[in-house]
Amino acid sequence: MHSSLSLSIASHTSPAIAGSSHISHSSAFGFVPSSPINLRFCGLRREAFGFSALKHSASRRARLSGRTTPRSGNVVAVSSPSDNGTAPKSFDYDLLIIGAGVGGHGAALHAVEKGLRLVGLMCVRRRREERRVSGGTSVLGSSSGLKTAIVEGDVVGGTCVNRGCVPSKALLAVSGRMRELQSEHHLKALGLQVAAAGYDRQGVADHANNLASKIRNNLTNSMKALGVDILTGVGTILGPHKVQVGSSNTVTSKDIIIATGSVPFVPKGIEVDGKTVITSDHALKLEFVPDWIAIVGSGYIGLEFSDVYTALGSEVTFVEALDQLMPGFDPEIGKLAQRVLINPRNIDYHTGVFASKITPAKDGKPVTIELIDAKTKEPKDTLEVDAALIATGRAPFTQGLGLENINVVTQRGFIPVDERMRVIDANGKLVPHIYCIGDANGKMMLAHAASAQGISVVEQVTGRDHVLNHLSIPAACFTHPEISMVGLTEPQAREKAEKEGFEISIAKTSFKANTKALAENEGEGLAKLIYRPDNGEILGVHIFGLHAADLIHEASNAIALGTRIQDIKFAVHAHPTLSEVLDELFKSAKVSH
Ligand SMILES: Cc1cc2nc3c(=O)[nH]c(=O)nc-3n(C[C@H](O)[C@H](O)[C@H](O)COP(=O)(O)OP(=O)(O)OC[C@H]3O[C@@H](n4cnc5c(N)ncnc54)[C@H](O)[C@@H]3O)c2cc1C
Ligand SMILES: NC(=O)c1ccc[n+]([C@@H]2O[C@H](COP(=O)([O-])OP(=O)(O)OC[C@H]3O[C@@H](n4cnc5c(N)ncnc54)[C@H](O)[C@@H]3O)[C@@H](O)[C@H]2O)c1
């Protein structure tokens, strides 16, 4: 089905991207399970946590909170660091983590490494264990004297493992291969002859689903092996040291980490039916491949799914509110990405427009999308398509968490934190012993950022001050080819330079000069370095090209460790490898130092 209006392709758009990969703690996976508790999932469906169910979940939490009267003496009066004196002398746990996504998991594993004892909480089917825990007489965990618990209301792994990074990368692995097999020009250049490529939709969907199950099991087993007992239950904060788990259990903990993540954000006026108007939660199941799909939002999710859908034969129309596709990324890299990832593919787009109303397909009628001008709000167009994917960002999952019990007011749903992830209350004061990591604090909605923040918090609660440098955290978009970045974009660097009174310089290298890239017939690519010529500081690196997501780490590690260009340019790279693209990049920079 096609649009009732002609869709013209604008020529001025420019993108630029970033991203990451799932954090694996494979070193922890090999342990023999030692926990006496048999880990089982409660079988709660994700839908119970989805956007529409959020209200239900929140009201359930509110009911639960209302029913539970904190025992006096066990709860610290809110928002006064000195009030900690009213806390119990001893706690059920030293560290309690609410949410077993990648952030919570990363924090939990690091806590084990630091000697913290892990005792997870999973409710519903775990009455016996819960009673033991709520009675404060838990006997679980390792022989260390410290105790930690992780609370999960759905399934271990959270968004990344079940509805995010992991299944999406499985689909992208398929789209990458399909692209290669479909590119006659590419195959011919390599001297290959391949019969027409095809795919089995269910087989592709199974690959994504199986991978998610596998990684979920790995995560679960890694915590189990380290003595983690996970009880499922919705965690509600009753006070600074007290959390209700499920409907009746309460636990106390010296420190608490909130790691409750996010859910798809669906703008007002858009009706998601889960079939023809979908979010990434639905799209990852690949229940059908529409002939024509509109993707609302051209950020990470939109771009990655455009790669998947076009490889599987769909026509894609982007609807983007800002004036260019993939806004927010370095404009030069974005322009190149658009030339390679958008223009030659079966993709067109509308920029500077909001999807103000989307109605699912019904009774033989297509999905309709009403577009309004993003600035004037005047009606612009109506599209008729087979399906619409809503990829307009993510909303923090913090409703009903009991934040009112610690006097915390969210900002657009995000929990305010300082640079050490310490939660800030309504009066601007730090809430003692409560931290928030990952998507729920909105600092950087990436899996490895959530995990790194969790590790940083564990460092602090175990006595070592630590501040995570978010400018050293890489990001990648796993399109074909990939896009990656770390640090500042060129406009951001220019703004900072102007404010702080220094010069910036730019260096670039092309994949066309790289032997390995040319051997692969993948010479389309660019690496860009933004730096200070006076002292060799690396301000940002952006890469578009084959394996860009892997290549970025030399730059992100350099930023994290404070390595300057005048030092890193002497590092030796194996030949012929793609890493020589960065070698060339650093060598071509001119530092006066
Ligand atoms: C389609 C898609 C693809 C993505 N791809 C990538 C990628 O390639 N690389 C990347 O870095 N990032 C990617 N992301 C982003 C990444 O998934 C998130 O940044 C990451 O999952 C955030 O981790 P988290 O631990 O903060 O939260 P989550 O992973 O959302 O986990 C939070 C957990 O807390 C639980 N929970 C919530 N409230 C409660 C409560 N009150 N009590 C108990 N449990 C609770 C939830 O059930 C959930 O299990 C992607 C996201 C999507 C949607
Ligand atoms: N590879 C990765 O690391 C990866 C992959 C997928 C998702 N993620 C994470 O998930 C998060 C969510 O991804 P996302 O792509 O949904 O969000 P995003 O913030 O990356 O992009 C959303 C886009 O939607 C546009 N938009 C918002 N409302 C709109 C409307 N009403 N009409 C038209 N356009 C609108 C925005 O301008 C923006 O370009 C990201 O923040 C990212 O960190 C990461």
- Mind listing the pLDDT tens digit for each residue in 59-80? 323 222 222 222 222 222 222 3
Same domain for 345 and 464, yes or no, is: no
576 in a structural domain: yes
Tell whether the model's pLDDT for residue 307 goes beyond 90: yes
Note whether residue 476 is domain-resident.
no
pLDDT tens digits for 147-163?
A: 788 999 999 999 999 99
Residue 14 Cβ contacting ligand 2 at under 6 Å? no
Lookup result for tokens 């838990």: 138
Residue 281's pLDDT band (cuts 50, 70, 90)? very high
In this structure, the answer to whether residues 521 and 485 fall within a common structural domain is yes
Q: Maximum distance among all alpha carbons in the chain? A: 77
Say if residues 333 and 528 touch (Cβ distance below 8 Å).
yes
Take atom 10 of ligand 2 and give the residue whose Cα is closest: 445
| Res 65: pLDDT | 29
Annotated ligand binding at 113? The verdict is no
Gap between the terminal Cα atoms of the chain = 61
The rounded distance, in Å, linking the Cα atoms of 318 and 316 is 6
Of 392, 419, 444, the last residue of a domain is 392
C-alpha 307 – ligand 2 centre gap (Å): 15
- Let me know whether 343 and 378 are in one domain: yes
With respect to residue 416, please indicate whether it lies within any of the assigned structural domains.
Answer: yes
* Residue 328 to residue 18: CA distance in whole angstroms: 10
User: How high is the pLDDT of residue 23?
Assistant: 28
Residues 398 and 381 occupy one common structural domain = no
Number of neighbouring beta carbons within 10 Å of residue 343: 12
- Residue 53 above 50 pLDDT? no
CA angle 333/334/336 to nearest 5° reads 65
Residues 299 and 344 in one domain: yes
299 CB near ligand 1 (under 6 Å): no
**Radius of gyration from C-alpha coordinates of the chain:** 25
- Establish if 324 belongs to a structural domain: yes
**Collapsed DSSP state (helix, strand, coil) of residue 390:** strand
Q: Which domain holds residue 232?
A: 1-157+208-265+394-469
Residues 143 and 243 in one domain: yes
Instruction: For residue 478, report the distance from its CA to the centre of ligand 1, in Å.
Output: 18
Q: Are 373 and 416 found together in one domain?
A: no
Judge if 464 and 584 occupy the same domain. Answer: no
At residue 88 the predicted structure's pLDDT band, cuts being 50, 70 and 90, is: low
- The total domain count for the chain is 3
**Beta carbon of 149 within 6 Å of any ligand 1 atom:** no
Nearest listed ligand to the Cα of residue 100 = 1
Does residue 193 lie in a domain region? no
Taking alpha carbons only, the member of 521, 170, 174 closest to residue 313 is 174
Supply the pLDDT for residue 92. 87
Residue 169 placed within a domain: no
Ligand 2 within 6 A of CB of 297: yes
Residue 262: HSE in the Cβ half-sphere, 13 Å Cα cutoff: 27
Cβ of 212 less than 6 Å from ligand 1 = no
- Ligand closest to 15 (CA) is 2
Q: Which atom of ligand 2 is nearest to the CA of 265?
A: 16
Residue 560 sits in a domain whose CATH number is: 3.30.390.30
Q: Is residue 253 part of a domain?
A: yes
593 within domain boundaries: no
- Residue 24 confidence (pLDDT) above 60: no
Tokens representing 445? 């909605």
Q: Among 411, 444, 469, give the residue marking a domain's end.
A: 469
Write a three-state SS string for 420-489: CCEEECCCCCEEEEEEECHHHHCCCCCHHHHHHHHHHHHHHHCCCCCCCCHHHCCEEECCCCEEEEEECC
- The annotation status of 185 as a binding-site residue, yes or no, is no
pTM comes to 0.85
Last residue of one domain, picked from the residues 392, 419, 442: 392
Asked if residue 138 belongs to a known ligand binding site, the reply is no
Alpha carbon 326 to chain centroid, angstroms: 17
Distance 445 CA to ligand 2 centre (A): 10
Task: Output the average pLDDT for the chain.
Answer: 82
Residue type, 403: L
Q: Which of 284, 246, 248 is nearest to 42 (CA)?
A: 246
Check whether residue 44 and residue 99 sit in a common domain: yes
Identify how many contiguous H helices and E strands the chain contains and give both numbers.
Answer: 17, 23
**Residue 466 marked ligand-binding:** no
Instruction: Measure 108 CA to ligand 1 centroid, in angstroms.
Output: 15
From 20, 160, 279, 300, give the residue whose CB has the most ligand 2 atoms within 8 Å, as the site to mutate. 300
Q: Is 349 in the pocket of ligand 2 (CB under 6 A)?
A: no
Same domain (yes/no): 217, 103: yes
Asked which of 25-29, 190-194, 371-375, 505-509 is least confident by mean pLDDT, the reply is 25-29
For residue 553, CA distances in Å to 19, 332, 473, 559 come to 12, 20, 9, 10
Residues 294 and 335 in one domain: yes
CA 394 – ligand 2 centroid, Å: 7
Q: How many Å lie between the centroid of ligand 1 and the Cα of residue 24? A: 14
Determine phi and psi for 355, rounding to 5 degrees.
Answer: -85, 105
575 is catalytic: yes
Ligand 2 contact via 263 beta carbon (within 6 Å): no
Please check if 299 is assigned to a binding site. Answer: yes
Taking only the tens place, the pLDDT of each residue in 259-276 is 999 999 999 999 999 999
Asked if 109 and 225 sit in the same domain, the reply is yes
- Sequence letter at residue 409: V
On the question of pLDDT at 464 being above 50, the answer is: yes
CATH number at residue 384: 3.50.50.60
Predicted confidence (pLDDT) per residue in 523-568, tens digit = 999 999 999 999 999 999 999 999 999 999 999 999 999 999 999 9
Residues 6+ apart with CB under 8 A from 263: 49, 50, 51, 54, 159, 394, 395, 397
Length of the chain: 593
Choice among 22, 105, 241, 575 that is catalytic:
575
Say if ligand 2 is within 6 A of residue 167 CB.
Answer: no
The answer on whether 90 is annotated among ligand-binding residues is no
What DSSP line would sit under 322-356, residue for residue? SSSSSTTS-HHHHHHHIIIIITTTTEEEEESEEEE
